[in-house]
Structure 1
Amino acid sequence: MEQNELTTTLLALDSLSIYRGLLDDKVLSRLKSLISCINQATNEFRDVVNLYNDFYFELAKSGRVSLQEYIIDKIVFDENPFTFKPQAVQTGEYNNFLKKAVANDLKGLQQVSKLTSGMLKAEISEIFDNNSNKTFIEALPDWVSEFQPSNSPAHIQQIQELFSHSNHWDECLDELTHFHQNYGCGLFARYIAFVWEKSDGQGYLKGIDSPDPITLNELVEYQNERSRVIENTLQFLKGFPSNNVLLYGDRGTGKSSTVKAILNHYHTQGLRMVEVPKAYLADFPLIIRHLKNRAQKFIIFVDDLVFGDNEENYTSLKAVLEGGLESKTSNILIYATSNRRHLVKEYFSERAGLHSGNHSEEVHAGDSMQEKLSLADRFGINVVFSSPDQNRYLKIVEGIASTRDLKISKERLQREALQWALWYNGRSARTARQFVDWIEGHDSLENQDD
């Protein structure tokens, strides 16, 4: 390998402008340190070996053994002035200058991606031409130079393979722009579902690798209830006025599954979902700052929502629902589920407080009581999911069994479904699914034994 080829690779990294943040990436920063060390003939052999293995360790830790695949992945998901908000398309000279800078970076990153372990090891052997070093150099681990297909969703695989098959990455600029316009960048291009978590008091969005795969086609019955949520979601995605939604009612009726299935159905249209535990509702302003000005539409999902009498988190939710200055943003809605219509617990003692002579009671107890009762009203749409009667329960069972193509007589299916409901959790969509899971597994096991 010519010495100037190493220099060219270093210059390609130094020349990054729009993608300059990649220089802080652990893999690429260690690769740069390794090449710089090799380029300086005064360095010790041990230093080179250490830097080589530092780089390889970070590459392997990323889950990849292909440098080209790693760099393409970084290009696709990087957050920078080009990828962050491409829907706000700049016009005129500014846009042309930005495109030229991006094209130059793509050329440089392609240059870096062509670096192979064989090239580096050959250069190390030339510099440290010593028989005692030969064994150590040969033992240095190799990485794959070509692109390795991933298990990513189809739209991500498509842009990755476009780069891998291209001889000139700068010619992929239009397709890359289109990708970011449709799917955003960073975490929001990689994942469709997130959960808000906290570590050391700091909140952050954690991408969910395998969100619940439930689909709308798998949900049986409750079409009228579900259609109202779907219609509201479509209005939201198309930029029309839409409402926050509260889905409440009996347990196991499919409230949470409805919300998750809507995400799985519409994520290709730019829908994303962030689940926020009730304990972190006070973080709403911070969460909204993470999500506003993004290309995607976000549903903030709060599951099993109910507040105790002394909880103040509901004031944070109330402020967002009412649309304060901080929380007002057109790309965010709140979908919440609850088993109860009144989201804040109310006690008979509060009603007694309306006529109490007790000095410890609140003077305007009626105002507090009305505030608690009105929280659900602040959701624009309330959808009720009630426990099914026997006929509806059996229809749900039959519907689930049909989608799974189970070969079970209707008479037996109904008889055992009713017994299951008596033995376990009563009639509900969840009970129906649990029963079908059981009978499918039971029959499969028996058939295997036969």
Structure 2
Amino acid sequence: MEHSKISPTLLALDSLAIYRGLLKDSLISKLKELLISLNETNDGLREVINSYHEFYFELAKKSTTMSLEDYLLDLIIFDENPFTFQQQAVQLNSSNRVIEQVAAQDLNRLQLISQLDSASVKAHLAELFPNDNDHSLLEKLPEWVLVSDSLDLSNHLEHIKVCFRASDRWSDCIEDLKKFHRHYGCGLFARYFAFVWERIDGSGYIRGIESPDPITLDELVEYQTERSRVIENTVQFLKGFPANNVLLYGDRGSGKSSTVKAILNEYHNQGLRMLEIPKAYLADFPLIIRQLKNRTQRFILYVDDLVFGDNEENYTSLKAVLEGGLESKTPNILIYATSNRRHLVKEYFQERAGLQSNNRDEEVHAGDTMQEKLSLADRFGINVVFTSPNQTKYLDIVEGIAGRRNLNLERDILHKEALQWALWYNGRSARTARQFVDWLEGQLNLNDL
């Protein structure tokens, strides 16, 4: 009986060492079950057919190209194992050369697995079950794609996938793979560039964001001076030079959050990553930092709409990270926060009165409490103020957005409608300008129907 592909493929799966974690993948698990079923002479046709369709269903569910090779390449690129961790660490240990050699051997094994085609499986089944009545059933088994012609690749994945596809021996791609992991990291941090910190049952974890806000710096109109300070600081950070934590504060709708998100979209191909942390989880900062330090990527921890009430203590955690804790300082992490307030912690007149109060219920050292609250914003090295636009600036923003969208409307009519919109809704702001242009574009498209 011919075992030219089945037995070697099963042996290749069993021989994985550094990439052994791939065996836990549901599709690879189904593939192994199919190969075992094909290799066992005591399994009946019903069991083998069931294993075949279990594998095929999993492939159809998890691979858009129906290519086993494509799926395996994704697993290789995003796998977290001793080799990939070694490459994306800040300091590489030359003594781990043996791990690299074993990883290269595993790549050749995975290449062999990727070459398993449905025709070989069907031919093997025909040998296992030579009954003529079974042949028509076997011939109708669905097939998968051996080599995909898909070119829908994101920029940071294109080069490494092309390298593997063009190589006769995947182990020859080890240097390209090392460069990829050093630049983009591994696992979650190679697959995504935007993340959010979440909690389930009291345990925090990092979740990758499939579709981050696509806004770009080119789409943002006005506030160039304010925005340039944040961009310059980010570029310094990416180049490994000293950089500051940044607080963007000011009037609502002025583009603070959009600026931060646009910077991520501009620089993620240079290794920038952004993790949004809800204000309620700021106490998790030490845990988050331990997960991100010693990686080659640069992380911005992003806190949106930051303000603390009088009974909240989370601001002490943030203060320790900004300037204080022993393990807080790490060169690959910055904090960018937005707020509508310059002073992030609410302060009350009664606290000032407490400085000279004879009321025994007042704090003795009320001045210390007041200074502690006021000091939080001071710990951000750079403070950038975004103020509401005056009428001229508001109309300039409207014109800029409308021009980028190629909306044809007389200038006087555009201004009149924009000012009317601001009166009806949220007042003059960059956000209001964008909302107005969204409405205007929809109206013009409806009129063209």
- State the Cα RMSD in Å: 2.0
Maintained 8 Å contact 2:5/2:116: no
Following superposition of structure 1 onto structure 2, how do residues 259-408 of structure 1 map, counting pairs within 5 Å? 259-408=260-409
Displacement, 1:438?
1.6
Q: Equivalents in 2 of 1:285, 1:89: separation in Å?
A: 21
Match of 1:61 in 2: 61
Displacement, 1:151?
3.6
Displacement, 1:167?
2.6
Displacement, 1:367?
1.3
Q: Specify the SS of the correspondent of 1:343.
A: coil
Displacement, 1:111?
0.4
Q: Equivalents in 2 of 1:315, 1:140: separation in Å?
A: 63
Q: Equivalents in 2 of 1:54, 1:358: separation in Å?
A: 76
Match of 2:9 in 1: 9
Equivalent position amino acid for 1:79 in 2 = E
Equivalent position amino acid for 2:230 in 1 = V
Match of 1:24 in 2: 24
Q: Equivalents in 2 of 1:185, 1:348: separation in Å?
A: 51
Q: Equivalents in 1 of 2:93, 2:294: separation in Å?
A: 19
Q: Equivalents in 2 of 1:195, 1:151: separation in Å?
A: 26
- Identify if the C-alpha distance between structure 1 residues 364 and 413 changes in structure 2 by more than 3 Å, giving closer, same or farther: same
- Identify if the C-alpha distance between structure 1 residues 207 and 248 changes in structure 2 by more than 3 Å, giving closer, same or farther: same
Q: Equivalents in 2 of 1:215, 1:383: separation in Å?
A: 19
Displacement, 1:93?
6.8
- Identify if the C-alpha distance between structure 1 residues 293 and 93 changes in structure 2 by more than 3 Å, giving closer, same or farther: closer
- Identify if the C-alpha distance between structure 1 residues 361 and 50 changes in structure 2 by more than 3 Å, giving closer, same or farther: farther
- Identify if the C-alpha distance between structure 1 residues 311 and 151 changes in structure 2 by more than 3 Å, giving closer, same or farther: farther
- Identify if the C-alpha distance between structure 1 residues 137 and 151 changes in structure 2 by more than 3 Å, giving closer, same or farther: same
Deviations 1:207-245 (A, max 9, x none): 111111111111111111111111110111111111110
Q: Equivalents in 1 of 2:198, 2:329: separation in Å?
A: 23
Q: Equivalents in 1 of 2:396, 2:174: separation in Å?
A: 52
Equivalent position amino acid for 1:37 in 2 = S
Q: Equivalents in 2 of 1:293, 1:114: separation in Å?
A: 37
Q: Equivalents in 2 of 1:50, 1:286: separation in Å?
A: 45
Deviations 1:235-262 (A, max 9, x none): 1111111111000000000000000111
TM, length-normalised to structure 2: 0.94
Match of 1:213 in 2: 214
Fraction of identical pairs, as percent: 65
Q: Equivalents in 2 of 1:324, 1:348: separation in Å?
A: 31
Q: Equivalents in 2 of 1:181, 1:50: separation in Å?
A: 42
**Residue correspondences, number:** 447
Match of 1:252 in 2: 253
Unpaired stretches in structure 1, ≥5 consecutive residues? none
Q: Specify the SS of the correspondent of 2:243.
A: coil
Following superposition of structure 1 onto structure 2, how do residues 105-124 of structure 1 map, counting pairs within 5 Å? 105-124=106-125
Equivalent position amino acid for 2:371 in 1 = Q
Deviations 1:391-439 (A, max 9, x none): 1111111111222222222222212211111111111111111111122
- Identify if the C-alpha distance between structure 1 residues 130 and 348 changes in structure 2 by more than 3 Å, giving closer, same or farther: farther
Match of 2:244 in 1: 243
Equivalent position amino acid for 1:408 in 2 = L
Displacement, 1:176?
1.8
Maintained 8 Å contact 1:69/1:148: no
Deviations 1:1-40 (A, max 9, x none): 8225322112212222221211222211221222122212
Maintained 8 Å contact 2:279/2:306: yes
Displacement, 1:135?
5.7
Displacement, 1:383?
0.5
Q: Equivalents in 1 of 2:199, 2:279: separation in Å?
A: 13
Q: Specify the SS of the correspondent of 1:205.
A: strand
Q: Equivalents in 2 of 1:98, 1:325: separation in Å?
A: 33
Displacement, 1:382?
0.7
Q: Equivalents in 2 of 1:315, 1:142: separation in Å?
A: 59
Displacement, 1:68?
0.9
Q: Specify the SS of the correspondent of 1:195.
A: strand
